[in-house]
Chain A
């Protein structure tokens, strides 16, 4: 079971309330798209959810949180640091084990960046960096995905490929998206955020793009 329910979600920046208080219940198997104007509080809501779900969630934050000096392989491998003993992780830093190399190389291949496995992350383009953060979240393989604009730097076909992979691999997800068509295509529930409150909450099948545009 990977559904969750939280009441009294709220956050302030200084004196200014940016989110909530609001309640959010996500059922097992739901793919929720968070939509709304920039500054509406989507990123803050994702962060609040991650603070509460930690162990059960893979996170793709907007800032990506990559270690620029490490190669792509190690950035992805960091998704499973908790799965291995310290000596194993330390050795991997110096010389990765073959079975991990195979798994991660597979994953990068699916995302179209296989040839970048040993490049320092700092040398990648914006779209490639975004895919490294996505590969890390996939490799982490938590039951729930929390992602903040995970396809903002990807072009058409790659964006579809990534959204497909994310919604297929994760049973349950909450994804902040500014692309309304993508939200309708890959998620089964749309939650619209306005001024830190839930302004819209409908199954995707009951909405079309113009319904959502009222939020913007």
Chain B
């Protein structure tokens, strides 16, 4: 078995994760974690939809921020995709998508304040970077022959409109619709840094122990996501896009003096700002590295590796739930419901809930990341097994799982897992805002202490770490000859 490179790679990652578990802090610190969890579930099954009128407003704002952000992101992403063959454009896009929406929001909050622009840009910027990459991959896959046959002298734009776009239109549309769903999730969690979306109300009802209110919000959010195919129709889409900017709310006006000060003073490293020279700057930088960046990187990497393997194990356990090769319709339906809930809940919200219930340690983060990502990969793999035809006398039960199905889907399972590696790391870093000692924790503390120079350096380091993992993930996928389509 160990002669397969995919198996060797899997065990190597498993060993790293086990070693990580030995050094990681995974204790449950609250006195009554299971009672709290029980109360939360009680709240979900007894939702209170009428506690505040703010709930509907929050839902509306969530949709509005999602629509405006994704629309702008896809527009600029498309323009960038046209220039994607140029290295500086690629690097620029890799950089802006390596910084999580919440980090962007934290940055814009410092100078735009609680203005709608903060939330819109926080979604639009990283999404533009992702759209640029995926759109350009889709465009590259279109058949080049029709363009070669066009009469010479055809305008480049006409050639593009006739010979390139129609061929990949369906894929572009499917991917954009899919990102719109991701955009609603991003929009919801922006509430956790104070924007008027669902996360804000979720956090305030949670902190007051109003679990029925929180439950109502979660249920509305699932309904919103699950019914998207019904209410997002090509015919009404232009109406939504034109109307969405008017439902972002007023926020607070932008103070332009703050904007100027942020760029000319706040983010300039303190020793340079005070004119203390390069020696002071290098000792300042050393201090940031030793006391914040290195512990942050260490914890982020350890947590990422544990969460990655936990995601993998959960996906492998979960995919039979929706596979037609096992069980009856009842189990498959409940399997579908479980996986839909797992993957529609943003990992940040899952982590927030578990953290409230179990207290701060890496455990809630690992469980949240594994549930969300495992839900996504389990769903994709389960769907893939439904296209497999087994011989009529194929074994049943566990033998069918281990001999017939897992070997067939294992390569695409690994492909999805390594594809999501970078996404898991981006999320891991951001979960620090909730109080786990990953990079996000140090960024958030620096901002609390009004040390924006430190925060910017730490965000830069986070971005570089993500880019590094992205490159490594792609290298491993190429080495093992794994291919995959993008998932968000």
Contacts and interface: CB of A to CB of B under 8 A. Distances in A.
A126 to B, nearest CB: 16
Nearest to A80: B151
B375 to A, nearest CB: 33
B139 to A, nearest CB: 14
B158 interface: yes
Given A61-B145, A78-B146, A86-B157, A67 B162 contact: yes
A19 interface: no
A81 B167 contact: no
Nearest to A78: B162
Contacts of B151: 55, 79-83, 140, 142
A74 B162 contact: yes
Contacts of A54: 152
Contacts of A103: none
**Size bracket, chain B contacts:** 20 to 34
Where chain B touches its partner, the secondary structure class is helix
Given A70-B166, A78-B163, A65 B158 contact: no
Contacts of A70: 162, 166
A151 interface: no
Contacts of B153: 55, 82
A80 to B, nearest CB: 7
Nearest to B159: A81
Interface string B131-152: 0000000000001011011111
Interface string B301-320: 00000000000000000000
B169 to A, nearest CB: 6
A80 B151 CA distance: 7
B152 A82 contact: yes
A54 to B, nearest CB: 5
Nearest to A85: B155
**Size bracket, chain A contacts:** 20 to 34
Interface string A134-150: 00100010100000000
A63 interface: yes
A79 B167 CA distance: 17
A135 B300 CA distance: 61
A117 interface: no
Interface string A108-137: 000000000000000000000000000010
B167 A89 contact: no
Interface in A45-72: 54-55, 59, 61, 63-70
A136 B150 CA distance: 10
Nearest to A89: B158
Nearest to B158: A89
Nearest to A65: B145
Given A82-B154, A86-B157, A65 B162 contact: no
Contacts of B167: 67-69
Contacts of B170: 69
B162 A93 contact: yes
A90 B158 contact: yes
B169 A65 contact: no
Nearest to B168: A69
A140 B154 CA distance: 12
B83 interface: no
Contacts of A140: 151
B161 interface: yes
Given A59-B149, A63-B145, A82-B152, A90 B166 contact: no
Contacts of B169: 69
A67 B162 CA distance: 8
Nearest to A81: B154
Contacts of B162: 67, 70, 74, 78, 81, 89, 93
A140 B161 CA distance: 18
B145 A81 contact: no
Interface in B337-352: none
8 contacts: A55-B153, A70-B162, A78-B146, A81-B158, A82-B150, A86-B155, A89-B155, A90-B161
Interface of B: 143, 145-146, 148-155, 157-159, 161-163, 166-167, 169-170
Ranked 10 nearest A-B pairs via Cβ? A65-B145, A82-B153, A69-B166, A82-B151, A89-B158, A81-B154, A65-B149, A82-B154, A86-B155, A70-B166
Given A54-B152, A85-B155, A89-B158, 19 more contacts: A55-B151, A64-B145, A66-B146, A67-B162, A67-B166, A74-B162, A78-B150, A78-B163, A81-B150, A81-B151, A81-B155, A82-B152, A82-B153, A86-B157, A89-B155, A90-B157, A90-B158, A93-B162, A140-B151
